[in-house]
Chains A and B, each alone.
Chain A
């Protein structure tokens, strides 16, 4: 579960200013809490499992205006809201929800964008159930929180459909230049925040489309690329410059960029190093890392092969190793690419599975099989070196381990062999080592992660900050964005103190 975050004095003040507004008082009075509690949580409309598991169209359809207003009414507008303590980017949640209830949708999206430049993404991929919604006071009372995530998604979609994207006023240029390395969730957040403060920001991205894991990792059916593109366009409208196909550490080093006149740096190069299990047969054709499998399908559009040139193995019997969101994305992708059997192989039980409940539910509805308490031992290939079968071992749960989860223990003699023609290894990613290798002054932790001061996200090098998966290992999009927001505030301070 998420840690409860401290509410800063700045946020407290913002919350109070909103809470005390006349219209908020009236709105609170307009409907008693008892009545509000009678409204059921509005269900997210979804496409039918049997249809959606054959294409890459988005699964969730989004709330309509009436459902959104009704959902907003469920919120009590508490004097001491719990939700805000669960949001890594400090959105004034009660204000944006009450603005929906008031049907002032334009003001609502502006409220969110005060502290979050990428709400259409957060509304789709944040694990709200373990962040803002878990600390919602309505949940404490009834067990069913306000659907904050669905509302965030609704309001950002509304803005995009309206076609009138609001641009905040940008202060005059400070003259400082900032280099953001990596156009993933952390980097995009830093870029947006610092551009809004009047700094000149350039993002350097190794791939040819901005978004990092949002573009190569998360599939179209969960986060349509058009939405990501709209969010990136927004950053460009804020004045952010994008340099694509530029690998910092290779095309130019951090030192080169310093010489080119950049004053501050943010490293958000992500967890781009796939982990493997190091078991026999893992290099057979048809065994992929989740990174490669998803990159081929999402970034390179292998699902439209041969219209797009990049191919991917289309297995009939697909096994995905792992129990996280990346595993769910991979297995649901395999199903969509024609797998008759698409199965999750996970060594612990359903309870320990790190994937979001919603993803697991969607996967189950789409006909994904779950083989829990099972682990692969080896893969077997045919005469062409292609995977044709795997040997697995059954497990049972033993004593809790250092993570507090019950440790899976092998059951002797439970080995079995099953036919597979596609395997995706989704057991996690490690931080990408490229930056650390070419910037020896950076401090590196034992998992290859960059070490930072967690209060400021500063690395040991003055003016160089880092955040997201490069410091956390494989975490979530919203934690990366939280890091980005914190780092941006510190970088702004650093630049304004004239330490350049």
Chain B
């Protein structure tokens, strides 16, 4: 059991969940995740850790409303109990002084990239942060990201920010502008990570992506989260979640993420019937 300290909507469809989990807060490092179950009948789903406070014993994740599980999480209030909140799971991100690093994030990844950017900055890197949002009102955590970035570049389709082009295009032009980019880290929806990896492939700049396949236990026991990297099957929960984006079998990952598309719709309908009847 873990207590919810705070749950709030940051922007439409994206929520923040802060949970009292002192052991997780004591151990976690950038790039790791927790497995959460909203209620006794819920599903176990992974959420990337976006921030933590060891003193307060709290851990923060950001999630986007998609299916039943995230719907249920979005209805939590401070003081509610979560039956499952386990972590920190997965291997931490590789943090070193690489030189110049581009951090690209979109949707929940805007928050998920934050602790990695912070750690990379602290390790002495020049951090260039690229943020992608569908519309300017969907941007959040601007202050936090500014503090840890040497440059913050935001792309929104309504062009209220720096540009309106999809961020992988910007990544492509950035690689040409900059004298040297030593590494790229991309977190967000699978498509964004895929496109970022493709953008850097010609120049051969190492691009780490934080994969988000479906998981169950999160400790390597079930193999639900298998992904192919360099032709070998890996478990994202224990071998990842970070992988070199140039080695990933993306079509397979897209298909596996959609494994239960019809069931997700069915589940959501059942949940709404139950909730509103």
Chain A interfacial positions (CB closer than 8 Å to B): 206-208, 216, 244-247, 250-252, 272-274, 276, 278, 282-286, 288-289, 291-292, 295-296, 300-301, 305-311, 313, 381, 384-386, 432-434
Task: Return the contact of A291 from the options B222, B227, B238 (Cβ within 8 A).
Answer: B222
Tell me which of A216, A244, A247, A252 has the highest count of chain B C-beta atoms within 10 A of its own C-beta.
A247
Q: Verify A208–B84 contact, CB threshold 8 A.
A: yes
In the complex, whether B173 has a CB less than 8 A from a CB of chain A is no
Which residues in A have their C-beta under 8 angstroms from that of B85?
A: 245
**Which residue of chain A lies nearest to B264 when distances are taken between CB atoms in the complex?**
A311
8 further A-B contacts with Cβ under 8 Å, apart from A208-B83, A283-B256, are: A246-B23, A250-B27, A278-B233, A301-B41, A385-B255, A385-B256, A432-B221, A434-B220
Given contacts A283-B226, A285-B259, contact A251 B27 (CB under 8 A): yes
| Binary contact readout B196-208 vs A (1 if CB under 8 angstroms, 0 otherwise) | 0000000000000
Specify which of A208, A278, A313 lies most central, judged by the most chain B CB atoms within 10 Å of its CB. Answer: A208
Main secondary structure of the interface of A (DSSP, over half): loop
A208-B37, A309-B42, A434-B219 as given contacts; A292 in contact with B224, CB under 8 Å: yes
- Whether A285 lies near B255 (C-beta < 8 A) is yes
Please give me the residue from chain B that is nearest to A275 by CB atom: B223
Contact of A292 among B2, B23, B216 (CB under 8 A): B216
How far, in whole Å, are A251 and B258 apart by their CA atoms in the complex?
A: 30
Which residues from B are CB-within-8-Å of A284?
255
Task: Assess whether B263 is in contact with A291, with CB atoms less than 8 Å apart.
Answer: no
Within 8 A of A (CB), among B183-235: 216-217, 219-224, 226-228, 233
Q: Which residues of B contact A (CB under 8 A)?
A: 2, 23-24, 27, 37, 41-44, 68-69, 72, 83-89, 216-217, 219-224, 226-228, 233, 238, 249, 251-252, 254-256, 258-260, 263-264, 266-267, 269-271
A273 vs B219: C-alpha distance in the bound complex, in angstroms?
9
Q: CB distance A384 to B258 under 8 Å? A: yes
Q: How far is the CB of A268 from chain B (nearest CB, A)?
A: 14
**30 residue pairs A–B, Cβ–Cβ below 8 Å:** A216-B217, A246-B86, A251-B23, A251-B86, A273-B220, A273-B221, A274-B222, A278-B233, A283-B252, A285-B255, A289-B222, A289-B223, A292-B216, A295-B221, A305-B267, A306-B269, A308-B41, A309-B42, A309-B267, A310-B43, A310-B44, A313-B259, A381-B255, A384-B258, A385-B256, A385-B258, A432-B220, A432-B221, A433-B238, A434-B220
**Does the CB pair B260–A247 fall under 8 Å?**
no
In the complex with contacts A208-B83, A311-B260, A306-B221 CB distance below 8 A: no
Closest residue to A311 on the B side, CB-wise? Answer: B263
Which residues does chain A contribute within 8 Å of B252, judged by CB atoms? Answer: 283, 385
Most buried by B among A276, A292, A296, A313: A292
B191 CB, min distance to chain A CBs, angstroms:
16
Measured in the bound complex, the distance between the Cα atoms of B223 and A309 in whole Å is: 19
Q: Which residue from chain A places its CB closest to the CB of B270 in the assembled complex?
A: A306
Known contacts: A306-B270, A311-B263. The answer to whether A300 contacts B223 by CB under 8 A is no
CB-CB under 8 A from A244, the residues of chain B are 84
Provide the bound-state CA to CA distance between A272 and B44, in Å.
17
Find out whether the CB atom of A250 lies under 8 angstroms from the CB atom of B89: yes
Whether the pair A252, B23 counts as a contact (CB closer than 8 A) is yes
Q: Which residues of A have CB within 8 Å of B271? A: 306, 309
B190 shortest CB reach to chain A, Å: 13
Across the interface, B223 reaches (CB within 8 A) one of A251, A286, A291, A384, namely A291
In the complex the two chains form, what is the Cα distance from A273 to B224 in whole Å?
11
| A437: nearest chain-B partner, CB-CB | B238
How many angstroms between the C-alpha atoms of A309 and B264 in the bound complex? 9
Which of chain B's residues has its CB closest to A284's CB?
A: B255
Q: Tell me the complex Cα distance, A251–B22, Å.
A: 10
Q: Please name all residues of chain A whose beta carbon is closer than 8 Å to the beta carbon of B44 when the two chains form the complex.
A: 208, 300, 310
